[in-house]
Amino acid sequence: MEPTTASTLASPAMRRGLYIENQPFNSGYLPEQDGHSVFFEQCGRPNGKPCLILHGGPGGAINPTMRRYFDPSRWHMVLFDQRGCGRSTPNASLDHNTTWTLIEDIERLRVQLGLEKWTVFGGSWGSTLALAYAIAHPDRVEALVLRGIFMGSKRELHWFYQNGASMLFPDVWERYVAPIPMEERGNLMAAFHKRLTGSDPVAQAEAAAAWSQWEGDTISIRGPADRPDKFNETAFAVAFARIECHYFMNGCFFEEDDWIVKNLDRIRHIPGWIVQGRYDVVTPMDAAWRVKSGWPEVNFNLIWDAGHASTEPGVIDGLVRATDAAFSL
């Protein structure tokens, strides 16, 4: 496979759309481990080419749209709700909830389903987990399809949660910091973490709503109207914010900052595609460019009229074309 770098600003008529809606043909739970029951579902063609679809966050959840980036007549799609979120239980639990326990869950799921290898698909935190899994188990990954690259570095976290994105969205930023007293705003992640893991349910819900809405309002260049409805749901917001903040306060549980970039040599033989919005504020292009620099074989598709959301037209087009190409391997 010859790597390519493309910049896309295609007309709407030229862009691919999502595949048809499709329903799971099977769902269930992995055997309980560390007190967690992990929900999974299988969609598409039972004997099709296997792929694993990872949701974002951490602390997000799977949704029906995630199935529609793959041709359901050709792919065997596997999705799961990561520990503490979605239909996995206990909800919002932080116990034994790390990048490495999620990777253990992925391997348990692969073995339970009897799959030798699979294509791994993920955006935002899903790209982080996909890359970490591939680095840990390169022999189990046939291809990687990634969007909105995030490496969990101090630089990225400071940009989005302390100082950087705030200069582009000062109006939205005011709502984000509102639950935090002025004297605690020198370390916003720590201030949110105290409330999200504290015993006051009112303070927790208020902090969770502000944290989640901040991401929801900056996710798309099309504005807050493109924010998923789930960001307005209290239960989702609490799990999402608690788990995200837990991971970010712990550097996503990597041994060192930039762990992913420093280990890219382990996956350079794996075919890969990156779809990146030029105006992505949540996970700016710098991280994707650094991954591309350390993995020059990857196909890199820069979408000029897109931000972070997976539902922006140019991003949909890039991801659907990437999964079609991955099927042909």
Catalytic residues: 124, 280, 308
Identity at 189, one-letter amino acid code: M
What's the token pair of residue 84?
């503490």
Cis preceding-peptide flag for 271 (omega within 30 of 0): no
By CB atoms closer than 10 A (0-12, 13-18, 19+), residue 60 is buried
